[in-house]
Amino acid sequence: MKLSVVILTHNSAKYLDEVLRSAAFADEVLILDGGSTDTTLEIAQKHRVRVEMQTEWLGFGPQKQRAVDLALNDWVFVLDSDEVIPDALRTEILTVLNNPKRKGYFVPRLNYFFGKPIRHGGLYPDATLRLFNRRHGHFSSDKVHERVVLDSEAGRLCSPMKHYAYESVSQFIDKQNRYAKLGSKPNRFKAIVNPFWTFVRMFFLKTGFLDGWEGFVIARLYSQYTFWKYIQRPEIQ
């Protein structure tokens, strides 16, 4: 089965060279760019990739579906511009595609926060459906927290992809504040209760304390994001 790796970019130069090198095994690598003004397109030109433009932001779900629709092959792997496919995952993908038993597969993700891989707090294996046959699946229309809707039960791969989640607290706050606006659900009661529960669940129940100081900071930041989500007014699109 031939494979297309599809990637959304917008000023994504920081990790893009490593990302594209990790995806080079695919039959096609397609970038759907949202109007980058940094060196994203220059980096893309150095690799064997196809670049399409979609400067009107549609939201994460519709934008990713647009990229999937543009791919040449039915089997697609949707990769973010800060995610890398390690050798073990590449081997597993190629093995599965030799004789697919399912129409789609969840892929675990190892998130790096502040330069450290995080394996607790509910952040690992963080599996998402990324490898699928587009004849049998599509992205939801959600503008944030989008998901792939498959017409049958999905399988699961074992090898994780590498995700450069956040390098600093300020980067986390900036990104999650944008997400909070996109996915806001104003509710005063939940704004009071849910942040506390988020911290307890991540740091204690999901053993985030095993990640040390980083685990504490992450649980604290996610509780703050939960607060933002319930006090922000929805962003007008």
* pLDDT one digit per residue (tens) for the chain, 237 residues: 999 999 999 999 999 999 999 999 999 999 999 999 999 999 999 998 999 999 899 999 999 999 999 999 999 999 999 999 999 999 999 999 999 999 999 999 999 999 999 999 999 999 999 999 999 999 999 988 899 999 999 999 999 999 999 999 999 998 888 777 776 788 889 999 999 999 999 999 999 999 999 999 999 999 998 998 888 766 544
- What pLDDT shows up at residue 136? 98
What is this structure's pTM? Answer: 0.91
- What pLDDT shows up at residue 179? 75
- What pLDDT shows up at residue 229? 85
Distance CA(7)–CA(26), nearest Å, equals 12
Count of structural domains, the chain: 2
Amino acid making up residue 113: F
Q: Do 31 and 137 have their domain in common? A: yes
Distance CA(31)–CA(169), nearest Å, equals 28
Residue 74: CATH number of its domain: 3.90.550.10
- What pLDDT shows up at residue 145? 86
Asked whether residue 110 is domain-assigned, the answer is yes
Q: Which domain holds residue 29?
A: 3-165
- What pLDDT shows up at residue 43? 98
Q: Do 92 and 192 have their domain in common? A: no
Q: Do 117 and 218 have their domain in common? A: no
Q: Do 191 and 205 have their domain in common? A: yes
Q: b/e per residue, 30-66, with b = 16+ CB within 10 A? A: bbbbbebeeebbebbeebebebeebeeeebbbbbbbb
Q: Do 34 and 83 have their domain in common? A: yes
Q: Do 45 and 158 have their domain in common? A: yes
> Would you say 133 and 74 are in contact if contact means Cβ atoms under 8 Å apart?
yes
Q: Do 22 and 124 have their domain in common? A: yes
- What pLDDT shows up at residue 18? 98
Amino acid making up residue 219: A
Nearby residues of 197 by Cβ (< 8 Å), 6 or more positions away: none
61, two tokens: 């779900």
